[in-house]
């Protein structure tokens, strides 16, 4: 019988969105022995991880390499170090498993601020492929990207899908009704919901164009949720498209409001050009809301046969898919529930433990 390995994790990003969500759940479910990070950020996880090693540094760049607690980690004697993103410690010599969520920086280098940044990520992903004892990806799409760009060894790669937080559940109309007044949303309109940011690969402009071409758009409101929309008035693009009165900028919302928005919405829309996984698709499904999203990268893996798909570069395709999907709420509840039940953080954690156990035994 294989013994339980002692696993350490670089948890510096625990307070962030995206990767931070993964780390939060993994800290609770995997059974790590050591967590590296800011003690203030890790305060809530003391009961889950017995030992903590202070590691306060920015993400990416040379400073984190210099500040990495090599000596303290060596004294802790972990069997495996889990790095939950591509920013691996270059001088660490122990066994290491790395989670790669996406390769956006390589697939769309034109969205990066400079060639230097592009070269940095080209190098760091190459180093991960050469150095990591095992690589985990959120999707087959990301795994295939690593093979395509670096001819990565598929035998030391495993797809470990993400899960859905238990807070994402169906709620009654009465429980979410307050959102209409709080965010000044008309009660007699269908709601299309977008959750995310304004990064170029999120492709929001094409969603706006598609919504502007949608038949029956006057009976709908497009609600945009995310920090990028805080204090941001309707921009020139929305005015030019004639949809400024049909678009609502909700801004950054609480986790409770986010769950309730998913419940309130008639349709969740994700127009991204690239996603390593697309967790909001599952979050919407868990709240009983149908999804229309791009037919690219990992999204068909996450949406399965229950999501509706469009070409994210074609506003007409987006418009027609929105029209076909806006009245779908309640029609496919059984299929949605069956599909989303396959994705749990417990399953994700179990796979990580199994990989670590196999790796420690080698």
State the Cα–Cα distance between residues 319 and 314, nearest whole angstrom.
9
* pLDDT given at position 231: 57
Q: Please count the residues of the chain.
A: 362
- Residue 263 and residue 298 share a domain: yes
Q: What is the CATH number of the domain that holds 43?
A: 3.40.50.2000
Range with lowest mean pLDDT among 105-119, 149-163, 221-235? 221-235
| pLDDT interval class at 236 (50, 70, 90) | low
> Does residue 168 lie in a domain region?
no
Question: Which letter, b or e, does each residue of 233-245 get, where b requires 16 or more Cβ atoms within 10 Å of its Cβ?
Answer: eeeeebeebebee
State the Cα–Cα distance between residues 202 and 183, nearest whole angstrom.
23
- Does the pLDDT at position 3 exceed 80? no
> Does residue 1 lie in a domain region?
no
Tally of domains in the chain:
2
- Residue 336 and residue 348 share a domain: no
> Does residue 21 lie in a domain region?
yes
Q: What is the mean pLDDT of the chain?
A: 93
pLDDT more than 90, % of the chain: 84
Tell me if 211 sits within 8 A of 192, measured CB to CB.
Answer: yes
- Residue 249 and residue 147 share a domain: no
Q: What does the pLDDT look like over 117-134, one tens digit per residue?
A: 899 899 999 999 999 999
Q: What does the pLDDT look like over 164-215, one tens digit per residue?
A: 999 999 999 999 999 999 999 999 999 999 998 888 889 999 999 999 999 9
- Residue 159 and residue 14 share a domain: yes
Q: Concatenated DSSP letters for 110-173? A: GGSS-HHHHHHHHHHHHHHHHH-SEEEESSHHHHHHHHHHH---GGGEEE------TT-----H
- Residue 285 and residue 213 share a domain: yes
State the Cα–Cα distance between residues 173 and 181, nearest whole angstrom.
14
> Does residue 157 lie in a domain region?
yes
- Does the pLDDT at position 219 exceed 60? yes
Q: In the chain, what is the greatest distance between 2 CA atoms, to the nearest angstrom?
A: 66
> Does residue 24 lie in a domain region?
yes
> Does residue 37 lie in a domain region?
yes
> Does residue 70 lie in a domain region?
yes
- Residue 113 and residue 66 share a domain: yes
Question: Which letter, b or e, does each residue of 21-55 get, where b requires 16 or more Cβ atoms within 10 Å of its Cβ?
Answer: bbbbbbbbbbbbbbbbbbeebbeebeebbeebbeb
- Residue 239 and residue 125 share a domain: no
- Residue 228 and residue 141 share a domain: no
- Residue 335 and residue 187 share a domain: yes
- Residue 336 and residue 198 share a domain: yes
Q: At what angle do helices 279-286 and 333-340 cross, to 10 degrees?
A: 130
- Residue 352 and residue 333 share a domain: no
> Does residue 2 lie in a domain region?
no
pTM: 0.92
Range of the domain at 325: 173-340
- Residue 352 and residue 329 share a domain: no
Tell me if 273 sits within 8 A of 108, measured CB to CB.
Answer: yes
Average pLDDT over residues 249-270: 96
* pLDDT given at position 235: 59
- Does the pLDDT at position 27 exceed 80? yes
């Amino acid at each position: 019988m294989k013994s339980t390995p002692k696993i350490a994790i670089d948890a510096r990003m625990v307070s962030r969105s995206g990767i931070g969500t993964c780390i939060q759940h993994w800290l609770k479910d995997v059974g790590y022995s050591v967590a590296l990070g800011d003690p203030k950020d890790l305060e809530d996880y003391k009961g889950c991880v017995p030992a903590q090693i202070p590691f306060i540094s920015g993400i990416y760049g040379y400073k984190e390499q210099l500040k990495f607690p090599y000596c303290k980690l060596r004294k802790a004697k972990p069997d495996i170090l889990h790095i939950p993103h591509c920013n691996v410690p270059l001088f660490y010599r122990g066994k290491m498993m790395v989670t790669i969520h996406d390769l956006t920086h390589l697939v769309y280098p034109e969205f990066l601020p400079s060639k230097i940044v592009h070269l940095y990520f080209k190098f760091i992903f190459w180093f991960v492929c050469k150095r990591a004892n095992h690589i985990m990806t959120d999707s087959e799409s990301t795994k295939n990207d690593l093979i395509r760009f670096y001819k990565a060894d598929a035998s030391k790669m495993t797809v470990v899908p993400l899960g859905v937080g238990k807070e994402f559940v169906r709620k009654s109309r009465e429980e979410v009704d307050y959102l209409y007044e709080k965010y000044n949303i008309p009660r007699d309109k269908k709601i299309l919901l977008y959750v995310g940011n304004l990064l170029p690969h999120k492709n929001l402009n094409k969603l706006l164009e598609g919504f502007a071409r949608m038949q029956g758009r006057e009976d709908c409101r497009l609600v945009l949720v995310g920090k990028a929309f805080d204090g941001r008035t309707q921009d020139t693009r929305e005015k030019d498209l004639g949809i400024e009165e049909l678009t609502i900028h909700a801004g950054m919302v609480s986790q409770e409001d986010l769950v309730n928005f998913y419940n309130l919405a008639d349709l969740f829309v994700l127009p991204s050009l690239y996603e390593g996984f697309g967790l909001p698709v599952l979050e919407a499904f868990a709240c009983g809301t149908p999804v229309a999203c791009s037919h690219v990268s990992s999204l068909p893996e996450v949406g399965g046969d229950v999501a509706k798909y469009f070409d994210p570069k074609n506003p007409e395709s987006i418009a027609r898919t929105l029209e076909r999907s806006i009245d779908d709420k309640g029609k496919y509840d059984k299929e949605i529930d069956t599909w989303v039940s396959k994705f749990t953080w417990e399953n994700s954690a179990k796979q990580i433990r199994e990989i670590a156990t196999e790796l420690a035994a080698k």
